[in-house]
Amino acid sequence: MPRLFDTQSSEIVEIAPRVEGQFSMYVCGPTVYDEPHLGHGRFTLVYDILRRYLRYRGFEVRFVSNITDVDDKIIARAGELQIKPEDLAKNYEEVWWDLMERLAVQRPDETPHATDWIDQMLEMVAGMVASGAAYETSDGIYLEVAKVDGYGLLARQNLAELRSGARVEVDEQKKSPLDFALWKRTSEEEWGWNSPFGFGRPGWHTECVAMALGILGEGFDLHGGGMDLAFPHHENERAQAVAMHRSFARHWMHNGFVMVGDEKMSKSLGNFTTLKELLDSTDPRAYRLLVARSHYRSPLEVTAEILQDASRSLERIDAFARRFADVVTQRSDVVLNKVVIDGFNDAMDEDLNSPVGLSRVFEAITRANFAQDRGHVEEAVSNAKAALLLLSTLGIVVQDRLEVPEEVMVLAKQRKAARADRDFAAADRYRDEILRLGYVVEDSESGFRFKRA
C-alpha cells in the first residue's frame, strides 16, 4: 500500500482508500485570472504523477480538480481590462488547458466550475447559519472558527497562536480576525447571485468544499494542493466540513514551492515567469523531468542551467528509446526486469519518492545499453521494457522515432520504392542524398527509421 506524508498527522502514513481498490482525490485547481506560473505547472505535474502511479499500481482513481471561475482577483483583473469577468475566466481557462496538454497532464475525471455550484454552496451556508457556526455582518456571512474543533490542524498551530499571528483587520464586525467569509455581499452592479443572504458571491474556501463533497462524497481519500494552500485555504475548507458535521478528506497532501534563486515563485514577489514562457523556450518534457527529479515536498529550483541539464537527460532517454523501439516489440516474450520494477515501486510507495524512482529508471537504461552492446539481448530487453513502462508511468513521453525534415522523409520513401523495384543503384543514390542532409536511414520491421549521421 503506498504511503504519503499526511499534513494533518505530520507523518508518513498508509493511504488505504475508503473503498478497496478505488482512490478518490481532490486537488484545488487554478483561479483563472492570469497566465499560470511555474508553481501551477509544478502542482499539476505532481498530482498527475501521483494519479498515474496509483493507476499503474492497480487503483481505480477518481480525480477531481476544480476551476475557480469566480473570485475577487478575476473581478479586479476584468475591471482593469474592461471586459466581463466571465469572459476573462473563460479565456484563461483555455490558456490553462492548452498548457496542460503541452505538459502531457491528463485531464481530471471531473473539472467542476465554481459558478455551477452556487446553489449547493448556499445550502451549506444556510446550514452553518442555522447551527450557529456562522454569523452575519453588514458585508456577508462569516464562519466563527472558535466554534470549530481542532481549528489549526493543517496550519500546525492552535487557535491562540494563529490569532496572535493574524493581521489585525479594520473589520470590527468580525468576532475574530481568523473568521472568514462564506458569502460576500456586494452591490448589484457587481457580478453576483441572488441569495437569502443578499446579492453577492461565495467565498473561495466555500467553493471547494461544495464541489469536493458534492462529487466525491464524505470521507474521500486525499485532498491536495500547493503548500501555500494548507493555511488558510485548506484549513478553512476543513473548518466548514467540521462545522457541518460532515467528514471531509481523510488525508492531506501538499507540494513544495518553486524557487528562482532563493525566493518562492509567486507573482507578489515580482519574480513572475509564466509557464508559457518556459514551455515556449524548452521541451515541455524537461519541466516534467525536473519536477520528477525533485521530491515533491522539497523546494524546486528552476534555472536555465538546470533546465538544460534536464534536456540532456531527455536526449539520453530518447536515444535509448530509439535504440530499443523495435527490439522490445519483437521480443514480447521477455518479461520486465523485476529488480527494476521493485526498486521503482518501493521508492514511489514511500512518500512518492520520484527522484529515487527515476534513478532506478536511469540505472535500467544504462544496464540495457550495456547488455545490448555485449549481445546479451534477454537482459537488455528486460531492462529496457521496465524502463519504458516506468517512464510512461511518470508521464514522460519518449520520442522513439527521430523527427526528420519532410525532404528527408520523401527521399526515404523514394528509396523504399526503388528497393521494392530492385533498382538498387537508385536506392543508393537516395541513401547518399539523405546522408548529405545529415541522416542515416535504416530498414526496420515497420519500414524504416532514422539516425543522425
Residues that contact Zn ion, how many (by CB under 5 A): 2
Q: Which stretch binds Zn ion (CB under 5 A): 25-33, 149-157, 263-271, 350-358?
A: 25-33
**54 or 210, CB closer to Zn ion?**
210
Site string for Zn ion, 162-201 (x = CB under 5 A): ----------------------------------------
Which region, judged by CB under 5 A, interacts with Zn ion, from 207-215, 274-282, 343-351, 381-389?
A: 207-215
Residue 212 Cβ vs Zn ion, minimum distance, rounded to whole Å = 8
- Which one, 227 or 334, has the nearer CB to Zn ion? 227
Comparison of 266 and 273: residue with beta carbon closer to Zn ion:
266
The nearest distance, CB 264 to Zn ion, in angstroms, is 19
CB of 223 to Zn ion, least distance (A): 8
Minimum distance of Zn ion from residue 102's CB (angstroms): 24
Stretch that binds Zn ion, among 33-41, 122-130, 206-214, 298-306 (CB under 5 A): 206-214
Residue 112: CB minimum distance to Zn ion, A: 11
The residue among 44 and 393 lying less far from Zn ion, judged by its C-beta, is 44
Q: Which stretch binds Zn ion (CB under 5 A): 21-29, 165-173, 288-296, 302-310?
A: 21-29
Which of 208, 302, 384, 434 lies at the binding interface for Zn ion (CB under 5 A)? Answer: 208
Judged by CB under 5 A, the chain residues 324 through 363 that form the site for Zn ion are none
Match 481557462 to its residue by C-alpha cell.
93
* Nearest-approach distance from CB 29 to Zn ion, in angstroms: 8
* Three-state helix/strand/coil letters over the chain: CCEEEECCCCEEEECCCCECCEEEEEECCCECCCCCEHHHHHHHHHHHHHHHHHHHCCCEEEEEECEECCCHHHHHHHHHHCCCHHHHHHHHHHHHHHHHHHCCCCCCCECCEHHHHHHHHHHHHHHHHHCCCEEEECCEEEECHHHCCCCCCCCCCCHHHHHHHCCCCCCCCCCCCCCEEEEEECCCCCCCECCCCCCEEECHHHHHHHHHHHHHCCCCCEEEEEHHHHHHHHHHHHHHHHHCCCCCCCEEEEECCEEECCEECCHHHCCCCEHHHHHHHCCHHHHHHHHHHCCCCCCEECCHHHHHHHHHHHHHHHHHHHHHHHHHHHCCCCCCCHHHHHHHHHHHHECCCHHHHHHHHHHHHHHHHHHHHCCCHHHHHHHHHHHHHHHHHCCCCCCCCCCCCHHHHHHHHHHHHHHHCCCHHHHHHHHHHHHHCCEEEEEECCEEEEEEC
Nearer residue to Zn ion within complex by CB, 206 or 313: 206
Q: Which is nearer to Zn ion, 36 or 395 (CB)?
A: 36
Which residue number, 85 or 112, has a Cβ lying nearer to Zn ion?
112
CA dihedral 31→33→37→43, nearest 10 degrees, is 10
CB nearer to Zn ion: pick between 153 and 371: 153
Asked if 388 touches Zn ion (CB under 5 A), the answer is no
Which of 28, 74, 398, 434 binds Zn ion (CB under 5 A)? It is 28
Write down the least CB distance from residue 387 to Zn ion, Å.
36
Closer residue to Zn ion, CB minimum distance, 62 or 449: 62
- Interface positions with Zn ion (CB under 5 A): 28, 208
